Amino acid sequence: MAGILAWFWNERFWLPHNVTWADLKNTEEATFPQAEDLYLAFPVAFCIFMVRLIFERFVAKPCAIALNIQANGPQIAQPNAILEKVFTAITKHPDEKRLEGLSKQLDWDVRSIQRWFRQRCNQEKPSTLARFCESMWKFSFHLYVFIYGVRFLKKSPWLWNTRHCWYNYPYQPLTTDLHYYYILELSYYWSLMVSQFTDIKRKDFGIMLLHHIVAIFLLSFSYVNNMARVGTLILCLHDSSDYLLEAAKMANYAKFQKSCDLLFVMFAMVFITARLAIYPCWVLNTTLFESWEIVGPYPSWWVFNLLLLLVQGMNCFWSYMVIKIARKAISKGKVSKDDRSDIESSSDEEDSEPPGKNPHTATTTNGTSGTNGYLLTGSCSMDD
């Protein structure tokens, strides 16, 4: 075990040339980031998760009720043992051949069977009230950390001149404010690693999980080798649009369509500007070029920058999705669909129709095939 730890913490990988871990031990004159500080994130993450539960129940829920947001969930599918067996044991999205077989077996038309599978998929989805509570929590947290980050950074020289991220590196003392900012953000992402599996499931679940893993790794990585200054720039920049997204989602759930549209436009502008312009031209410029000039490359420098480029790749993906939604909003006059978000039934009116015994109907609905032809409800319902 000692050999593995010695290999993992090899100074030649983590630190610039001629720098050792002994040089970064805490002294009476200066405090530096220590790897064991990261353990603090676990109890803080648990506290954040518990605060979220309390907040959603005693703050967000009363606000939702005051806005007349109902707790009603999706319509429950009519009990049917044959369809339930197919749904649980075979497939949740039967193809045309299976639909026709079930239609003959049950004497239902194909459209009714499609509707049953759609309702069955949707009935376990959370209510609008639950969605509002989740968004209000995320809005509150992201707004708080963004304001904190701005207040902290406006007093920091590296906000105004990014070369200060590398002057005297890695012998840059750790301040209390920077330590709090880092541990709070790291703890939040650890809490998301748990809540990701209990929150509303969305189509981009996989890439969001990858995002959380990369975020945790980057935060931990940059803290251990004392790249925390540039890390604070990245954190604040990425927090700049998240609260606007959650505000737009809350407006949508409360059926304030004009407010939703306005907030989404603001979100899209900030998001694309921050992640496609400022991030590469400001952050990547300093991590790739200014650090090379002032400090020089070393093994962990390459890993850090590769991870930042991976983040930029995810930024491009999400920006594409934002632009896609914005184009549809322009064509329809409002933000009406979210290709990243959770999938729901295409129409409450359609779902409310009882199963009929009419002859087979076409297997397409609104130009889409079978139970895969869901339309998305809940405009502005993207996650961060």
Q: What is the pLDDT of residues 306-356, one digit of tens each?
A: 999 999 998 999 999 999 888 887 777 656 544 544 433 333 434 444 444
Closest CA to 131 of 253, 287, 279: 253
Does the pLDDT at position 4 exceed 80? yes
Helix (H, G, I), strand (E, B) or coil at 99: helix
Peptide bond into 16 cis (omega under 30): no
- What's the chain's average pLDDT? 85
What 346-349 contacts at long range (C-beta under 8 Å, 24+ apart), as own/partner pairs, is: 346/118, 346/373, 346/374, 346/375, 347/375, 348/75
Q: By mean pLDDT, which of 80-84, 215-219, 280-284 is the weakest?
A: 80-84
- CA 262, CA 283: separation in Å to the nearest integer? 28
| Over residues 19-29, mean pLDDT | 93
Closest CA to 224 of 24, 23, 22: 24
pLDDT over 90 percentage in the chain: 60
Q: What is the 3-state secondary structure (H, E, C) of 171-235?
A: CCCCCHHHHHHHHHHHHHHHHHHHHCCCCCCCCCHHHHHHHHHHHHHHHHHHHHCCCHHHHHHHH
What are the pLDDT digits (tens) for 349-361? 344 444 444 433 3
pTM (two decimals): 0.80
Residue 383: pLDDT band by 50, 70, 90 thresholds?
A: very low
Annotate 142-154 with b (16+ C-beta within 10 A) or e (fewer).
bbebbebbeebbe
List the domains of the chain with CATH numbers: 46-66+127-332 (no CATH), 81-124 (1.10.10.60)
What are the pLDDT digits (tens) for 290-306? 999 999 999 999 999 99
What are the pLDDT digits (tens) for 221-252? 999 999 999 999 999 999 999 999 999 999 99
Does the pLDDT at position 379 exceed 60? no
What is the identity of the amino acid at 309? Answer: L
How far apart, in Å, are the Cα atoms of 267 and each of 25, 243, 261, 305?
A: 42, 8, 10, 27
